[in-house]
Structures are given as C-alpha cells and as structure tokens.
Amino acid sequence: MPDTGAVKSQDTPFEGGPMDGRVLPVLLGPTGHPPKTYRIPVPDAHGGPPTVLVYRRAPRAQSKRLGLVQGWKYTFDAEGGKGAKGGAGLRWPWSRPAAGANPTPSDQPDDADG
C-alpha cells in the first residue's frame, strides 16, 4: 500500500450483504472516526446503472467500565439508505421544503390579497 502521509485509515470489518467477512481500510475523518455510511457502487454486468451497496457504522465493542466504543464495524443496510436513518438527511427549519411538500398549510389562506 502506498504511503498516504498524514491521511489515516483503519482496517474495518463488514458484516452482512455481499461484503460479509471482508476487512477494508477505511479513511478516517478529522475526529478519528470512519464515516457513518459507506457506499460501494457495483457496476451492472449489462451496462445499466450501478447498484449501490450501503453499509452503516456500528460499534464493534465497548469497554466494560466506561462503555466507550473500542472500534467500529459496518453492517449492511438492505434498504439502501431509504429507511428511517437514511433518506433526505437533516431538515432544518430554515431549509427549503422537501420536493412535493406543500409549503403552506391547507387550513390557512394564502396572503395573496395583501
């Protein structure tokens, strides 16, 4: 493996799905943790759009006394990020409404008259 200098990686095991039992080096973020989700695009054999495998970070083990996380592993997300943990992400009050959502409640009239 080539020298990456200041970039750190950690050998992280994968559980479930097609990557079950494999251990891959995953780049760590500025906090020293791997990313919360790991997406692996798998090309289609017939030239169609690639299938994306989604894995979610989970604690591998915890210390007995303080309950601190000892390491991380990735578990397969069969829904592919469309479940409760995935999807559109955080919705802040000042962000734009989701696509297809009604921005004004139906029980209040629009203030188009002035």
Digit-coded pLDDT (tens) for 4-28: 567 789 999 999 999 999 999 999 9
Whether the pLDDT of residue 103 is over 60: the answer is no
Its pTM surpasses 0.75: no
The predicted structure's pLDDT at residue 56 = 95
Those residues with Cβ within 8 angstroms of residue 75's Cβ, 6 or more apart along the chain or in another chain: 15, 16, 55, 56, 58
Whether the pLDDT of residue 3 is over 60: the answer is yes
Answer positive or negative: Cα dihedral of 52, 53, 56, 60: negative
